[in-house]
Structure 1
């Protein structure tokens, strides 16, 4: 049975960020699923994606973009996940948080462009904090090689990430037991590309460098699809 490709989006984006990649995979005859990630907490988001994975009959190649890389690092421990693919993503070690991994390297331009907004938490008198990217700075930081007409839509339709997710440690590192591939966006202004390189090298993750902004699956869908097809071919029945 050929694997289902499950695409997990990251922060400041949603499932539509895979709109250019999905046709490439479907046209290759692959089954694809693109769930919406709550972006509330690493453990909660991973638990949700894990529930989606358990509902799939058969093997899975699990793909995560950006913060979605942290999510697949944890959710990828599910038994039917046969391979991981990181797209400009965080390959966390067990017990490590996003903040800790990023803290090893100089900040990207993202650090000075974040916007913090309170949101209500049910059952709590204290609000949570949503993190998003300044709309005016979004194109340069997130998608400088994407059509400006699309980028302006992406900028105003961000799915924020709860600040708590930045400091929550990964409960497990699935790359320790699953084969993994990783795309490094060499022109990334959102995540320092050295963060991506370090995580992949540490995890024995097969690296592919693409001269791209952070949203490599939008600006280079064919090249990203080729990496995913390689992973599928490596583990497919």
Structure 2
């Protein structure tokens, strides 16, 4: 069989595959990528063609899930970014960081911009060290621990808060002695987490909240990735759970570029374009590796 015939048969096979997948609901552009050997989750080229666009990985915080990133995801996808928003187990800082490290290893190829909200900031701070392809860290109203810090330690260094005023404690199967799943009280959730969100939506979010373990909030952080990876921080000036002074102190300690927004704890829902803009800025500000 001559080379021309081989090339024709190969082209026909690929076109047939694309047509078949299109009939089953798989976009033709995706089929073309797969037929050409590209893995799902890989980055796409910048319009300039000089470097690939990074995959943006969005990491949610405690009492939340990945659905909070929906508006930001749409904004980024419209610009051609590959976006992934994995679930965080919320079982412990080492466990959650290891989970994200495995996700980055197995679901991404090429450069990554890693974005964390609230407790998710602590997770990306620890997980990013495992992946040399992480080119920038973006913190959204997030905890940015230094080595030895814990989330609760940062939030309440003088132990002035009474956890019983904030949380409902639920024992979970296999819990170590003294550990619990923590749910924010229904009366606390709307103002603490969801200020700026319509009351009906905030009540629904409170009902569907995912618990975080007490140990996750008291685990000490390891050596931080921000010491070697450029970082950016979105500071919500109306946050009722992570004080503005704490946000600023953590961001400055990490040497992050700070952007302020008049928003509560969930700017990815109330101000998604601001969040998207900071993520794209982080991408553009990072030199190709």
TM-score of the aligned structures, taking structure 1 as reference length: 0.92
Which of residues 26, 29, 44 in structure 1 aligns to 2:80? 29
Q: Does 1:65 align with 2:117?
A: yes
Which structure is higher in helix share?
2
2:15 aligned residue: none
Secondary structure, aligned partner of 2:115: strand
Q: Counterpart in 2 of 1:7? A: 58
Q: What is the aligned length? A: 235
TM-score in terms of structure 2 length: 0.76
What is the Cα deviation at residue 111 of structure 1? 8.1
**Distance in structure 1 (CA, Å) of the matches to 2:230 and 2:195:** 31
| 1:1-237 paired onto structure 2 within 5 Å | 1-55=52-106, 56-77=108-129, 78-104=131-157, 112-121=165-174, 126=177, 128-235=179-286, 237=288
- Larger strand proportion, structure 1 or 2? 1
Q: Which has the higher contact order (CA 8 A, sep 6+)?
A: 1
Are 1:109 and 1:141, in contact at CA under 8 Å, matched by a contact in 2?
Answer: no
Give, in whole Å, the separation in 1 of the partners of 2:210 and 2:144.
21
After the TM superposition, which of the residue ranges 93-102 and 77-86 deviates more from structure 2? Answer: 93-102
* Runs of 4+, deviation exceeding 6 Å: 105-111
Q: Unaligned regions of 5+ residues in structure 1, if any? A: none
User: Looking at CA atoms only, which structure, 1 or 2, has the larger radius of gyration?
Assistant: 2
SS at match of 2:170: strand
Report how far residue 106 of structure 1 moved.
8.9
Cα offset for 1:107? 6.6
Instruction: Determine if contact 1:92/1:173 at 8 Å carries over to the other structure.
Output: yes
> Is the contact between residue 98 and residue 167 of structure 1 (CA under 8 Å) also seen in structure 2?
yes
Q: 1:33 to 1:157 in 2, by over 3 A?
A: same
Taking a change above 3 Å as real, the CA distance of residues 19 and 106 of structure 1, as seen in their structure-2 partners, is: farther
